[in-house]
Amino acid sequence: MVRLLGALVGLGFLLVLAISLVTGITGFFREPPTETIEHKFHQDPKHVSFSFDGPFGKFDRQQLQRGFQVYKEVCAACHGLNLVAFRNLADLGYEEAEIKAIANQWAIEVPDINPETGEPTMRKAIAADRFPNPYANEVAARAANNNAMPPDLSLITKARHHGPAYVYSLLTGYQNPPANLPKEARPGQGLYYNPYFPNLNLAMPPPIAADGQVTYADGTNPTRDQMAKDVSAFLTWTAEPFLENRHRTGIAVLLFLLVATVLAYLSYRQIWASRKH
């Protein structure tokens, strides 16, 4: 009796599953899933190559310095680098005195407490400070940016697929919306069309708008493309300063495994040398 009941319950479940399968399939054919506007117009990041690509890749210090210059002169007005301190710039080849000067002349001051009065105050940055956020808090950031929040850029190249190529594509990807873009996907007030942004429209005005927007200290021609590439490389360094270490360790481990394999094979030959196969 119990067994019969069990079989009946099982059959009941099977019946429900079968019904939902049939309705699912007929529904799929009667109303095929429509492609979303974002899906149709969104573009994958452009192909762009960097010196740090591949297992032997290394940062180009000269490029990182140029990228830092773009960050400092353009992006820092809206984006902080919460996880990077001024003194980390030593890794890009800046001397201690240069770093102190960069921190001291930084346009955004750092909140602090006056040790004598205990009152909150603002002071000039020092080498040990992180790159300050230009806004006091999220409310202030949104108020200044059409209710959008400029994210901290320390880890942005890690936080997005194909990070460096994505940032590069985003910076060079602003364009007029295509004629066949439906009305509901057209950029509203204060938004800009950019097919590399998942949502197609973003609240960041094109930050790199003209060739020659910065004047590079090393004499490189500051085209828009060059500036976008350099700042993307810089933001890869901020997100992964130990990338070169990681590459080196990977290669060392592979070499070690190779040698260990050869040794293992030779000792196998040695151990079984006296035996006939």
Task: Give the SS3 label for residue 111.
Answer: strand
**In sequence order, what are the beta bridge partners of 120?**
113
Q: Is residue 125 involved in binding ligand HEC (CB under 6 A)?
A: no
Q: Does 70 contact ligand HEC by CB under 6 A?
A: yes
- Is residue 160 close enough to count as binding ligand HEC by CB under 6 A? yes
CB of 239 to ligand HEC, least distance (A): 11
Residue 151 engages ligand HEC in binding (rule: CB under 6 A):
yes
216 CB-side CA count, 13 A: 20
94-77-85 Cα angle (round to 5): 35
Q: Does 205 bind ligand HEC (CB under 6 A)?
A: yes
User: Does 214 help bind ligand HEC (rule: CB under 6 A)?
Assistant: no
Q: Which of 64, 103, 156, 200 binds ligand HEC (CB under 6 A)?
A: 156
Find the shortest distance in angstroms from Cβ 147 to ligand HEC: 9
Q: What letter does residue 77 receive in the DSSP assignment?
A: G
> Which residue's CB is nearer to ligand HEC, number 99 or number 141?
141
Distances in whole angstroms, Cα of residue 197 to Cα of each of 75, 104, 130, 169, 172: 18, 35, 28, 9, 11
The residue behind tokens 């350099």 is: 230
Size of the site for ligand HEC (CB under 6 A): 23
Residue with tokens 């940062």: 59
- Residues at the site binding ligand HEC, with contacts judged by CB under 6 A: 70, 74-75, 77-79, 145, 148, 150-151, 153, 156, 160, 167, 170-171, 202-205, 207-208, 231
